[in-house]
Amino acid sequence: MMVLLFWAMMLVVFAVATRIGRQFDLVPIVSQLLLATFGLPLLMLFWIEPHWQLSGAALIAPEWLKTLYGFAFALVLGNILSDVIELKMDRESLKIALPSFCIPFVCGLACAAWVLPEQHWLNALAIGLVFAITAIPVLYLYLKHIGYPLAATRRLVQTAILIDLACWTVFGLAQGSLHLSSLLLPLAGALLPLLFYACRIRRPLAYSLSFFGLLVVAEHYKLNALIFGIGYLSCMAWLKVALVPPLKTAWMNRLQTGLAIPLILTFGIVQINVSSALNSLSLVQFICAAGDAGRQQAAGQLAGPGLGWPFIPRRQPLEGKPAAQHSWFERNRLPQPAAATTVDQPGAVLRADADGPARHPAAGVGGPASNPFE
């Protein structure tokens, strides 16, 4: 009963945080991430564990919760893949993906060698991959909420998917856990649309329901759901069968924002034993290690994509002044939304402004949009 009360309370807390964030022009995923990063660990440390006597393992133990988590996972991943699978991977995405993976990976290895010098090499490799891996749902939802151009969103999310596949493949090979069965089973499931087509099943809803259902199964049995999802939707695209959402778009978005994302974030955060980490390290050591790791990860994540941008074809010189007078950042910044927009503060939601040129939260200053991907 207490476990059920906890999860109901978490959904309410996330809904309130999202509502408050909108008052400050924050997109829902940003508000939810702030709550999950700072609020949930403190809540577990000072209230849930000492007063409710509930550990993270107890909170995620119920089978009904794991089933619900599988449905939430399938909803989010299926929604992302259905939007980005239509565009083929191109050279521009690869030029961003390679440095975006390599630079943070090297920073992670350096951080592991400095902070944890006596750890096994596999642990150091895992830390390097944690630095390099991307949060695909966060990237996708943020770009979607700020009204980013669809084609540019697809390219960037495809780049993130490529990086994640590289991370998990490298770690699986190093750990010795990348068995043929972990690849063959998702690939076999991805060929199911061909079987449906051979059986003369033409209704798109049948393909779509089996897609979301098999995503739940893949997550439950710890198979590679990403490989399955990409392969399944690629087969559907080759057969020219459209993916039909099981619910209306408005309901899908509400479920994703109000249930799926809070459930996924909470499910991951409550498994972190904050009290154990604080007991094993002094407060000063913990703060220093976290600060240095955060700085190295941020530097790697910024430097990696930055190395890829100069090699991507760009548009003609920006209007208003000769190309030679533009800074490197103005010439290479990411594609802008089509409508003229401004922002009041970094990270805020883009808002229309008829009097000024387009701005982007990352840019900070206005100027005609330059799209390096086109």
Confidence (pLDDT) at 97: 66
Asked whether the whole model's pTM tops 0.85, one would answer no
3-state secondary structure labels for all residues of the chain? CHHHHHHHHHHHHHHHHHHHHHHCCCCHHHHHHHHHHHHHHHHHHHHHHHHHCCCHHHHCCCHHHHHHHHHHHHHHHHHHHHHHCCCCCCHHHHHHHHHHHHHHHHHHHHHHHHHCCCCCHHHHHHHHHHHHCCCHHHHHHHHHHCCCCHHHHHHHHHHHHHHHHHHHHHHHHHHCCCCHHHHHHHHHHHCHHHHHHHCCCCCHHHHHHHHHHHHHHHHHCCCCHHHHHHHHHHHHHHCCCCCCCCCCHHHHHHHHHHHHHHHHHHHHHCCCCHHHHHHHCCHHHHHHHHHHHHHHHHHHHHHHHHHHHHHCCCCCCCCCCCHHHCCHHHHHCCCCCCCCEECCCCCCCCEECCCCCCCCCCCCCCCCCCCCCC
Residue 342, strand partner residues: 351
> Which of residues 2 and 116 earns the better pLDDT score?
2
The string of pLDDT tens digits covering residues 8-37 is: 999 999 999 999 998 988 888 888 988 988
Q: Dump pLDDT digits (tens) for 52-98.
A: 888 888 899 999 999 999 999 999 888 888 876 665 556 766 676 67
What percent of the chain is predicted at pLDDT more than 70?
63
Residue 190 has pLDDT above 80, yes or no: yes
Mean pLDDT of the chain: 72
pLDDT of residue 317: 43
Confidence at residue 220, expressed as pLDDT on a 0 to 100 scale: 87
